[in-house]
Amino acid sequence: MAIPFWRLYYNTVGNASVSYKGIRTLLKPDQIVIIPPNTSFSSSLKGNSENTLRESIIGEKIVNRAEVTEHINSNCSDHLFIHFNLGIPYDLIEPGIYTFAVKEKEEELLNEIKEYCIIGRNAFDFTVCAAINSLIFELLKEIPRHKWNTPKLDKRVVSSVVYIEKHLGERLTNKILADRASMVENSFARLFRENNGTSIQQYIKKKRIDKALILLHHSMANIDEIAIQCGFSDRFHFSKVFKELMGMSPVAYKRQVIF
């Protein structure tokens, strides 16, 4: 599941778990789990085999707290999940499963978020958005400094990366980016590879698919619209690149992974 989302998971019924590199972590009431992007993990429910191919949830929205009690003696689990994006430099963190003890402040924030979800509103107001942000950044502060794999990138490359992120729907050639960095095209391409470990165009391709994944999950845009927004000439080019990186077409991804 190496896609560009961070995940925050919190369960009070301990029937679910996540695994990374053979280490299984239970989702239980006394801890919160955060999983950064590009962590290829698996998940499982008690009695079920680990699921590494699909990220799907078979169940329904919890509409009152009594339902949580009903799950305790069943092969089910209550599941609060928050998927979010941070971008560079946060996404450079070392992959893994990060666990955090639920302290008083975290418990207050979790209760506020859960209560808002249970009462049935489809949109989040400012108050609950602030609670979600507070929870996320309270936990991120607890991650040890050595886990943040933040190399010293050349300022010209950093500027280009930011520009790429903001203009994925536009034409992005090596020359355009080299000119913005006031460098010769070949020299800039070499500098970019040295800093990012990949070519400029491979980096752009990956970021365009990352954006497509976000749109597939969090928008009502169709495949043609997503292709254009992500800088592909048409849905056929988009589908070809998507399948190259994700192993399936965007239509199959939306059908098998999201729904």
The pair phi, psi for residue 220, each rounded to 5°, is -100, 10
> What is the per-residue pLDDT for 54?
46
> What is the per-residue pLDDT for 62?
73
> What is the per-residue pLDDT for 197?
83
Q: What is the pTM of this model?
A: 0.69
Summarised one tens digit per residue, pLDDT across range 50-85 is: 554 444 456 667 767 677 666 666 667 788 888 888
Average pLDDT for 218-247 = 92
> What is the per-residue pLDDT for 259?
52
> What is the per-residue pLDDT for 148?
83
Look up the CATH superfamily of 155-258: Homeodomain-like (1.10.10.60)
* H or E element that contains 137: helix 126-140
Summarised one tens digit per residue, pLDDT across range 36-57 is: 987 888 888 775 555 544 444 5
> What is the per-residue pLDDT for 85?
81
Q: Could you tell me which residue, 104 or 214, shows the higher pLDDT? A: 104
CA nearest to 114, candidates 11, 256, 208: 11
pLDDT at 91 over 90: no
Tell me the angle at which helices 235-246 and 200-218 cross, rounded to the nearest 10 degrees. 100
2: confidence class by pLDDT, cuts 50, 70, 90 = very low
Question: What CATH number belongs to 6-147?
Answer: 2.60.120
What are the residue boundaries of the structural domains of the chain, listed by start? 6-147, 155-258
Cα–Cα distance measured from residue 1 to residue 55, given in angstroms and rounded to the nearest whole number: 8
> What is the per-residue pLDDT for 74?
67
> What is the per-residue pLDDT for 152?
74
Task: Say whether 173 sits in a helix, a strand or coil.
Answer: coil
Summarised one tens digit per residue, pLDDT across range 197-226 is: 889 999 999 999 989 988 888 788 999 999
Cα–Cα distance measured from residue 181 to residue 46, given in angstroms and rounded to the nearest whole number: 53
Determine contact, residues 98/143, Cβ cutoff 8 Å: yes
pLDDT at 126 over 60: yes
135: confidence class by pLDDT, cuts 50, 70, 90 = very high
Buried-exposed string 50-59: b where 16+ CB fall within 10 A, e elsewhere? eeeeebeeee
CA nearest to 149, candidates 99, 197, 208: 197
Determine contact, residues 94/34, Cβ cutoff 8 Å: no
Cα–Cα distance measured from residue 116 to residue 124, given in angstroms and rounded to the nearest whole number: 8
Determine contact, residues 203/192, Cβ cutoff 8 Å: yes
Cα–Cα distance measured from residue 41 to residue 15, given in angstroms and rounded to the nearest whole number: 17
